[in-house]
């Protein structure tokens, strides 16, 4: 005997309801992109194209900007209804896939907000979504506004899952390597340096300037939040072999005399 007709009707109704919700969420993303385009500023966009190195052969090659300041994007996220935040991954996906940099930034800000407000299941879903769509997180600012607050926050109490940071740190993708080290900022601010120092060791010989800056920054944060003695223990072992930019970033807050000793190799 086949299924009852009522069951078929119920399934059709549920299917149509799901399709309607998907359409609403897609429309929401499309509406947000239209709103972003209306907020664009040509002069600011021209500056952003230079600042984020979008010329051929540069790290941001091909990225497109509307020219919208970060505070404006944050106000947009704050103004979104809670139901949009509840369906953050559905709204975020078309934004992440957008050619417009600000749309991708808005998507990540929305995901961070939803992660912070979500329960464990919501956070796990957003973390998995982030890793699945990591290829769209493709500039340093997009990494920096999201990696500590999603990847780092999810892994904070999950030591066994932190192996993902090793995989990212050894990736051929500049942005995945940056995610690996910047994610550790969440741990550092909780007083934990071990993971940051472990990833820093993996990246010591990285050839990209944006990684040198990121590692140096995290080492500096270790000194600030965990203790300068912890940072210096790492530096004394590695400073003579680390890239100059990495070292300069790491010792930026040191007294001038100590800075010069490090720079001159006299520690």
* CATH number for the domain harbouring residue 187: 1.25.10.90
Q: Domain check: are 30 and 121 in the same one? A: yes
Q: Domain check: are 189 and 237 in the same one? A: yes
**Environment class of 229 (CB within 10 Å of its CB; exposed 0-12, middle 13-18, buried 19+):** exposed
**What's the mean pLDDT when you consider all of the chain?**
89
187-245, pLDDT tens digit by residue? Answer: 999 999 999 999 999 999 999 999 999 999 999 999 999 999 999 999 999 999 999 99
Residue 260 reports pLDDT greater than 70? yes
81 or 109: whose pLDDT is higher? 109
Say if 140 falls within a structural domain. no
Residue 93 reports pLDDT greater than 60? yes
Q: Which residues contact 207 (CB under 8 A, 6 or more apart)?
A: none
Q: Categorize the per-residue pLDDT at 85 as very low, low, confident or very high, splitting at 50, 70 and 90.
A: low
At 40, is the secondary structure helix, strand, or coil? coil
Angle among Cα 194, 195, 200 to the nearest 5 degrees reads 100
Residue 24 reports pLDDT greater than 80? no
64, β-bridge pairs: 100
In contact, 259 and 231? CB cutoff 8 Å: no
What is the structure's pLDDT at 80? 74
What is the structure's pLDDT at 99? 96
Q: Domain check: are 150 and 105 in the same one? A: no
Q: Domain check: are 16 and 123 in the same one? A: yes
245-254, pLDDT tens digit by residue? Answer: 999 999 999 9
CA atoms within 13 A on the CB side of 92: 27
**pTM reported for the whole predicted model:** 0.88
How far apart, in whole angstroms, are the C-alpha atoms of residue 246 and residue 84?
Answer: 40
Say if 141 falls within a structural domain. no
Q: Domain check: are 36 and 2 in the same one? A: yes
Return the number of other C-beta atoms located less than 10 Å from residue 256's C-beta.
7
Q: Categorize the per-residue pLDDT at 11 as very low, low, confident or very high, splitting at 50, 70 and 90.
A: low
Residue 102 reports pLDDT greater than 60? yes
What is the structure's pLDDT at 87? 74
Query: Residue 243: which domain range?
Result: 146-267
Q: Domain check: are 94 and 161 in the same one? A: no
Q: Domain check: are 26 and 109 in the same one? A: yes
Residue 266 reports pLDDT greater than 60? yes
Q: Of 90, 113, 135, which one is at a domain's C-terminal end?
A: 135
């Amino acid at each position: 005997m086949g299924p009852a007709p009522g069951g078929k009707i119920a399934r059709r109704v549920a299917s149509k309801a799901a399709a309607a919700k998907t359409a609403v969420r897609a429309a929401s993303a499309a509406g947000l992109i239209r709103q972003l385009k209306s907020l664009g500023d040509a002069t600011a966009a021209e500056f952003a194209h230079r600042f984020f190195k979008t010329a051929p052969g540069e790290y941001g090659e091909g990225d497109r900007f509307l020219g919208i300041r970060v505070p404006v994007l944050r106000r947009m996220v704050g103004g979104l209804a809670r139901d949009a935040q509840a369906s953050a991954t559905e709204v975020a996906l078309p934004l992440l896939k957008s050619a417009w940099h600000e749309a991708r930034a808005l998507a990540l800000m929305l995901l961070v907000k939803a992660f912070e407000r979500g329960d464990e299941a919501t956070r796990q879903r957003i973390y998995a979504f982030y890793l699945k769509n990591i290829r769209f997180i493709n500039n340093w600012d997009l990494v920096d506004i999201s990696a500590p607050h999603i990847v780092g926050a999810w892994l904070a109490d999950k030591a066994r899952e932190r192996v993902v940071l090793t995989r990212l740190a050894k990736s051929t993708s500049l942005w995945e390597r940056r995610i690996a080290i910047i994610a550790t900022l969440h741990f550092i601010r909780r007083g934990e340096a071990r993971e940051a120092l472990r990833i820093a060791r993996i990246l010591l010989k990285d050839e990209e300037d944006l990684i040198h800056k990121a590692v140096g920054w995290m080492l500096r944060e270790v000194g600030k939040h965990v203790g300068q003695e912890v940072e210096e223990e790492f530096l004394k072992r590695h400073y003579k072999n680390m890239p100059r930019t990495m070292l300069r970033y790491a010792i930026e807050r040191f007294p001038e005399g100590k800075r010069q000793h490090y720079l001159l190799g006299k520690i």
